[in-house]
Amino acid sequence: MSLNFLDFRTRQRDYLLSIAQAMVSRLNLRAVLRLIIEASVEMLQGQVGLIALHDPKDGFSFSASYGLPPALVDAFEPLVMGLPPVESPQNFDLPDMSEKLREIAQETGLLLRQVVALPMFVEQDFLGVIFVFRSHSLLFSPDDRQILRSFADYAAIAVNNARLYESAVTERRRLDALLEASADGIMVLRPDLTVERFNQALVSLTGWPMADALNQAHDEVITWARQNSPATLAQAVTQGWPTREGRALYVEGDLRRRNGSVVSVGITYAPLMTAKGGVLNIIGIVRDITRFREADVLKDRFISVVSHELKTPVAIIKGYAETLSRPAARRNAQLQEEMLGAITEEADRLARLVDDLLDVSRLQAGGLPFRDVDDVDLRLIAQRVCERYRPQAQNHTLRLDFPDDFPIIRGDPQRLEQALDNFVSNALKYSPRGGEVVIRGEATPAEVVLSVSDQGVGIPLDEQEKIFERFYRVEGPETRAASGAGLGLYLTRAIIKAHGGRCWVQSRPGQGSTFYAALPRETALALLPMVLLPED
């Protein structure tokens, strides 16, 4: 049956129209390809049609057929197997397939005499081949090819669209996964600064459940308790930000969580612009900077405390050394002795500071080595510390209070002496008006508890934990008058912890303090690593 030319053109136009409709209305690639192959076969007056799609990774696979029982599709594989690599629409040259066609016809029992095949390209991307077979021997004409060309082009566009859609979906899923897995809080804002997306990390950071945060105004969710950047997002937007893509805005400060508590964060707002320069979205990346802030505070404390602690002894040593270099001072033996004594004392203080700093840095780096582990008689250690301080403690009464049967424990004697020494030197330093300092030892079935009490300035309740931090010193005239770098208690607690013990203080401002160190009687030191562990 042959169609007259007009009918033929009308049919072709109708087919192309319905293919175009199918392409815009459906994303079902297979259905579109089926329609295309059906149209191709019919318009070319063939009997059988096949579309083989090509994937650079997986090679060819048949995606649509017409006039062919599905079971027979695989029999056509030799056709695509033998295809030469296809690099561009221009150099596609179909090899002679008549031999293969004969074999396939034989295997399938189908009458297949002629085949025409055209590649499907979108620009330089080769997407597959469309085949039409005839059972009669009429050769395919250039016109036939021309018609098939238009169908192949449609098929190529449909395949390309489907692949683009698929990669857009994959891309979106990848983005979703990235958003959700990110440890930083991420939000996507609309141009009117309402929240379009809000990831899990931001839920944890702000305390805003995702459902509540979505569609809220940015300023409802991000409220600053303190903000130390030139402008907030809203202020920057009022001033004309963003002017172009890539110009990010950084805002840092203390964010008020939904429950009222605060957290230090830094937010980077990155605008996503349209081609015309409008704002498409603003991406906000919220980072918890509490640790940086703490590190900053620590660094400031370190610099102020250590520089002060270095300056004082160096100034004293220099002053005395200069005086001693004068002939007048050399003639006065007593003065000389006093000054040399003071120089030695200040040099010792510097050496202690350096030792403490080294210990702190070792502790930070992973641990302080135990110097040696032995039987330790804490009573003896307490006596030794007492003797050491008695000469300089004229205003104080130093008293030991230990039961006779005070137990021996296992530990590092030098480190434990360092700990007790810190307690006692603090008790003296921070009771400038003197009073009694008692070093007490008590034993319970499980623990020995050492305590050092004084009648000094005491410590405000809200600072009783902080004084165990590195470089922390209570602000006040009494502390300022006493030298110190704020490391003693930090190291003491680390030493006691490494022995499996605990360290704490009880104090009342103006009335005195008692520092405690409880150590297990049976320290399984063999089980502990041979280091003093840093804080939990």
Q: Which residues would be at the binding site for ligand ADP (CB under 6 A)? A: 422, 426-427, 430, 454, 456-459, 467, 472-474, 479, 484-490, 513
Measured from the CB atom, is 76 or 472 closer to ligand ADP? 472
Measured from the CB atom, is 78 or 476 closer to ligand ADP? 476
Kindly give, in sequence order, each residue whose CB lies less than 8 Å from that of residue 82, ignoring residues fewer than 6 positions away: 95, 97, 100
Residue 494 beta carbon to ligand ADP: minimum distance, rounded to whole angstroms:
11
Q: Using CA atoms, how far apart are residues 486 and 475, in angstroms rounded to an integer? A: 11
Residue 436 beta carbon to ligand ADP: minimum distance, rounded to whole angstroms:
13
Backbone dihedral angles phi then psi of residue 342, each to the nearest 5 degrees: -65, -40
Measured from the CB atom, is 260 or 510 closer to ligand ADP? 510
Residue 477 beta carbon to ligand ADP: minimum distance, rounded to whole angstroms:
11
- Cα 80 to its chain centre, rounded Å, is 49
Measured from the CB atom, is 223 or 464 closer to ligand ADP? 464
Place of tokens 């702190």: 360
Give the residue at shortest CB distance from ligand ADP: 484
CA quadruple 398, 488, 462, 305: dihedral, nearest 10: 120
Residue 403 beta carbon to ligand ADP: minimum distance, rounded to whole angstroms:
24
- Strands of the 249-256 sheet, one edge to the other: 195-198, 185-189, 279-288, 262-273, 249-256, 223-227
Measured from the CB atom, is 284 or 484 closer to ligand ADP? 484
Measured from the CB atom, is 241 or 515 closer to ligand ADP? 515
Residue 505 beta carbon to ligand ADP: minimum distance, rounded to whole angstroms:
8
Measured from the CB atom, is 289 or 487 closer to ligand ADP? 487
Q: Using CA atoms, how far apart are residues 459 and 79, in angstroms rounded to an integer? A: 90
Strands 435-443 and 396-401: parallel
Q: Using CA atoms, how far apart are residues 183 and 199, in angstroms rounded to an integer? A: 10
List, as one string, the DSSP characters of 392-422.
G-TTEEEEEE--TTPPPEEE-HHHHHHHHHH
Q: Using CA atoms, how far apart are residues 23 and 122, in angstroms rounded to an integer? A: 15
Taking each helix axis from N to C terminus, what angle separates 333-365 and 290-324, rounded to the nearest 10 degrees? 160
Residue 497 beta carbon to ligand ADP: minimum distance, rounded to whole angstroms:
15
Residue 377 beta carbon to ligand ADP: minimum distance, rounded to whole angstroms:
24
